[in-house]
Amino acid sequence: MTNTLNPLKITNQTMTLFTAYRSALEEFDYQEDPLQVEILGKLQILADSLTKTAKVSLVKKALRALYQTKKRPKKGLYIWGEVGRGKTFLMDLFYEELSITRKKRQHFHRFMHDVHARLKILGNTSDPLITILMTLRKILI
Ligand SMILES: Nc1ncnc2c1ncn2[C@@H]1O[C@H](COP(=O)(O)OP(=O)(O)OP(=O)(O)O)[C@@H](O)[C@H]1O
Ligand SMILES: [Mg+2]
């Protein structure tokens, strides 16, 4: 991995995660990785969006959804990369630094297993995924 990270190119928005990343690099004696930094920027935008949304009251959220006054906030990010590329490492940083108390981390396979188990229980009901979504929303958030 090359050391091509230029802090001047990092915007203010990426500072929180970037700082945590730099500390982790030092702690574990890792090398800076430009691709990881690029993903960090996207993760920071997501973190900012989630943090902002968490502060908005339910009434405001409902009104916004109804009148669609604002652009929909970012709610997720799909990261793809080769085995051992450092995805989990970034995820660890993101989760640790996310300043939301009501947060939960779950492995994709476990999540899907849970959804399938719930689908089986619900059987032939209409829109089972909506029902599951509402239930998970209550449990997870
Ligand atoms: N910038 C880095 N420099 C050196 N080592 C790193 C760096 N980033 C991550 N690593 C280390 O590389 C190893 C693999 O990272 P990680 O487990 O995050 O990869 P992954 O993409 O999640 O892999 P998998 O696809 O198997 O889930 C870990 O030991 C991790 O701590
Ligand atoms: Mg992983």
Instruction: Report the pLDDT value the prediction gives residue 9, as an integer from 0 to 100.
Output: 40
Please list all protein residues whose beta carbon sits less than 5 angstroms from ligand 2, which is an ion: 87-88
Spell out which residues line ligand 1, taking CB within 6 angstroms: 1, 30-31, 33, 36, 81, 83-89
Domain extent listing, the chain: 7-101, 106-141
Q: What would the pLDDT profile of 22-53 be if each residue is shown by its tens digit?
A: 999 999 999 999 999 999 999 999 998 888 87
Question: Would the pLDDT of 95 be above 70?
Answer: yes
- As a three-state string, the secondary structure of the chain is CCCCCCHHHCCHHHHHHHHHHHHHHHHHCCCCCHHHHHHHHHHHHHHHHHHHHHHCCHHHHHHHHHHCCCCCCCCCCCCCCCCCCCHHHHHHHHHHHCCCCCCCCCCHHHHHHHHHHHHHHHCCCCCHHHHHHHHHHHHHC
Instruction: Report the pLDDT value the prediction gives residue 108, as an integer from 0 to 100.
Output: 87
Instruction: Report the pLDDT value the prediction gives residue 141, as an integer from 0 to 100.
Output: 61
Question: Would the pLDDT of 7 be above 70?
Answer: no
For all residues of the chain together, what is the average pLDDT? 83
Residue closest via CA to ligand 1's atom 3 equals 30
Interval between CA 88 and ligand 1 midpoint (Å): 7
